Structure 1
Amino acid sequence: MKIKSVEAFQLPMGAGEATSPRCAFVRIETEDGRFGLGEASPMQGGVASLGIIARDMAPYLVGKDVLDHTILLDTLFHKCVKLGPEGATTAALAALDIALWDLKGKLLGQPVHKLLGGAWTTSLPCYTSIGNNSGRTVDEVLRVVERRVAKEKPAAVKIRWDGDRTKQDVDLAGDIAKAKAVRKLLGDDFVIGFDANNGYSIGGAIRVGRALEDLGYMWFEEPVQHYNVRAMGEVAQRLDITVSAGEQTYTLQGLRELIDAGVRMVQPDIVKMGGITGLMKCSALAHAHGVELVPHQTQPTVGHLANIHVLSTIMHLAKPVELADNWERGSPVFVNPSEPNNGRFELPTAPGLGVQFDAVELEKRKIVIKF
């Protein structure tokens, strides 16, 4: 089956179209009118990735066979490698890869997880990921945690800092106080993670990490700047708590470097790390090295569905699936797939990804990227 067209577009996500953040999508359509949807990293609205797709990748794909999936994307990777193998190019390839899997599933009449070898589970627990806590008081942190847990009934909670990445160790004592308060609120047995969002020096990370160990936190995410792999590894090796990283890693080689440095929980993101194909490779790499794979995933629609199809195929799934802030923003275009049901995500059984959306609303809102 030949590819007829490749369309790259942005969508304002949420009810307030003018002020909503924009997410980045791609639609690949075949000669018989069937199509697949993919999603790229939304950083800066994904405009860089969408531009690469529209200018450098779409013309090459038109007329090619959909089932030559791997050859097509490996060719495009090397065709565009001088743009940089990490970042916008890899996110563009992730969107195309997800769209091709969605399309392939529709052509073959099977859900993506079946094409990947089958699902160990069709019901995946979620963890609630709560951001922007660096600017909150202790009481404000507790109120938002309590509200989200009551609404979403998650299997675990992650509190994120989302602070100013140009500053380090801004309020170590205050951060520890918030971590203590959340532990007291949720109880001794509740699973909790702590995401520093690159906010500490090595020394600051060690201090906070020791406190988190005493409090029984399960993991400590990106304590230092993600690009300083040596520092991330040093923190990981000096602490007993599991240190995680990888959401800002775009290649398999980069992920291997984190593992080699000592990181024992890796968190690549499907809309950055080569899509479904890329995340399956990450799963194999993590399994080979005996580390946990717990993907980062904050997009509530296409990226989310692609992510849970992959995670359903992993035999020893270590942690719940991320449910980030503002997951409701998929409405009104998408029949929101990231709404948890009693703390769990149900795996779609329709062909492809199982994306459901309002076609009229999508056409009205989309902003097509052209060259």
Structure 2
Amino acid sequence: MSVSAKIKSVEAFQVSWAPGDPPGRRTALVRVTTEDGVVGWGEASPMQGGMHSLGIVERDIAPSLVGADAFDQAVLHDRMFHKNIKLGPEGALTGALAAVDIALWDIKGKVLGLPVYKLLGGAWRTEVPFYASIGGNAGRTVDETVRAVEARLTKERPAAVKIRWDGDRTKLDADINGDIAKARAVRKLVGDDYPLGFDANNGYSVGGAIRVGRALEELGYSWFEEPVQHYDVRGMGEVAQRLDITVSAAEQTYTVQALVDMINAGVRMVQPDIVKMGGITGLMQCAAICFAHGVELVPHQTQPTIGNVANLHVLATIMHLTKPAEFADASGRMDVGFKSVPKPVDGKFVIPGGPGLGIEVDEAEIQKRR
């Protein structure tokens, strides 16, 4: 029996969830429709609303997809990547590929009546614990940071917490003593045994990172994320090799070759993002690389709807899942666009078992917000 799903149309657009949403609060979506009326949904990186990736989809990718078979997803992925590689292979292009790739996997699952994780080889688990990713702490006082963590603990009961800094990346080592004080106060709040992560968002020099990392080791933090600028691969590796705490990076890594460079530098926990790193296909390639190198794969993921559920399908298939999944935006502001989307319960997400991604999009609400 021959199975195919010829692509009829590819739409790329922003969704604004509230009037006056600035670009960074908007979502970048791709809607792929087959000749038989099957619809697949994908999402691109939200940086500046994803307009850079959506433009590439609309101008450079969509025309060549019409008439292609969605089941040729891997061939299409490589063809689109290399056809457009002179646009710059990292960031905008891989985000565009991610949105299209996720949509094609969604179509494949819907046509076959299977969840994506089945198409990827099956699930080691259908429930995934999550950590609350709490940003903006560079601009908070110690007490404000503690209150922000306390609120998420009370509301969501996550399996772990990561405190993020989101500071000015042009100013390194801006407040090391204050940063350590916030880390210490959060540890006091949650107790000695609760898992904690610390995301510097590229905020330190190598020396500053080592100083903060030593403090985090004493406080029992589980991982130290992106302590130095992401493009300083040697510096990231030096920090990772000089500290005992697990140093993580690669949220801003967009190709498998760059991921290997980060691993070779000495980083032993990597965090590529499914909506930045080529989608489900890209993240599965990362999983194989991590398995081969004995490195922890803990994907970065801040988008609570399509990006999150696509990420969960991949995490279901990973044998050695060492850390919870990231959950950053707990506001529920995007729920209006979805009739069903996984919500956190008792510190975990249940992965949808329906066809494709297993979520139902409210197309009328999405159209109103385009």
Shorter-chain TM range is over 0.9
2:49 corresponding residue in structure 1: 45
1:361 corresponding residue in structure 2: 365
Distance, in Å, in 2 between the alignment partners of 1:129 and 1:338 is 17
1:310 corresponding residue in structure 2: 314
2:19 is the counterpart of 1:17: yes
SS state of the match for residue 114, structure 1? helix
Q: What are the within-5 Å matches in structure 2 for residues 56-205 of structure 1? A: 56-205=60-209
Q: Deviations over 1:149-187 (max 9, x none)?
A: 011101100000000011000010010011011001100
Deviation (angstroms), 1:29: 0.5
2:40 is the counterpart of 1:36: yes
Question: Which residue type is aligned with residue 33 of structure 2?
Answer: E
Q: RMSD across aligned C-alpha pairs, in angstroms?
A: 1.0
Deviation (angstroms), 1:316: 1.2
2:220 is the counterpart of 1:216: yes
SS state of the match for residue 329, structure 1? coil
Kept in 2: contact 1:80–1:89 (CA 8 A): yes
Distance, in Å, in 1 between the alignment partners of 2:363 and 2:93 is 28
Deviation (angstroms), 1:327: 4.5
Q: 1:74 to 1:51 in 2, by over 3 A?
A: same
Q: 1:45 to 1:351 in 2, by over 3 A?
A: same
1:284 corresponding residue in structure 2: 288
2:234 is the counterpart of 1:230: yes
2:355 corresponding residue in structure 1: 351
Q: Which moved more, 1:100-109 or 1:336-345?
A: 336-345
Q: Deviations over 1:93-138 (max 9, x none)?
A: 0111100000000011100001011111111111010000011111
How many residue pairs match? The answer is: 364
Deviation (angstroms), 1:329: 2.2
% identical equivalent positions: 68
Distance, in Å, in 1 between the alignment partners of 2:19 and 2:119 is 36
Question: Which residue type is aligned with residue 19 of structure 1?
Answer: D
TM-score by length of 2: 0.97
Kept in 1: contact 2:249–2:267 (CA 8 A): yes
Deviation (angstroms), 1:336: 6.0
Instruction: Select the structure with the greater relative contact order (CA < 8 A; seq sep ≥ 6).
Output: 1
Runs of 5+ unmatched residues, structure 1: 367-371
Q: Deviations over 1:178-235 (max 9, x none)?
A: 1011001100000000000000000100000000000000000000000000000000
Distance, in Å, in 2 between the alignment partners of 1:224 and 1:338 is 33
Distance, in Å, in 2 between the alignment partners of 1:248 and 1:17 is 30
Question: Which residue type is aligned with residue 296 of structure 1?
Answer: H
Deviation (angstroms), 1:365: 1.1
Distance, in Å, in 1 between the alignment partners of 2:149 and 2:214 is 23
Distance, in Å, in 2 between the alignment partners of 1:181 and 1:141 is 8
Deviation (angstroms), 1:54: 0.5
Q: Which moved more, 1:357-366 or 1:240-249?
A: 357-366
Q: 1:327 to 1:311 in 2, by over 3 A?
A: farther
SS state of the match for residue 328, structure 1? coil
Q: Deviations over 1:272-325 (max 9, x none)?
A: 111001101101100110110000000011110000000011111010010103
TM-score by length of 1: 0.96
Question: Which residue type is aligned with residue 30 of structure 1?
Answer: T
Kept in 2: contact 1:301–1:336 (CA 8 A): no
Runs of 5+ unmatched residues, structure 2: none
Deviation (angstroms), 1:326: 4.1
1:267 corresponding residue in structure 2: 271
Deviation (angstroms), 1:22: 1.1
Kept in 1: contact 2:304–2:329 (CA 8 A): no
Deviation (angstroms), 1:363: 1.4
Distance, in Å, in 1 between the alignment partners of 2:222 and 2:159 is 12
2:238 is the counterpart of 1:253: no
Q: Deviations over 1:230-249 (max 9, x none)?
A: 00000000000000001011
SS state of the match for residue 178, structure 1? helix
Tell me which stretches of 4 or more aligned residues in structure 1 moved more than 6 Å.
Answer: none
Kept in 2: contact 1:197–1:221 (CA 8 A): yes
1:334 corresponding residue in structure 2: 338
Question: Which residue type is aligned with residue 218 of structure 2?
Answer: D
Distance, in Å, in 2 between the alignment partners of 1:328 and 1:246 is 27
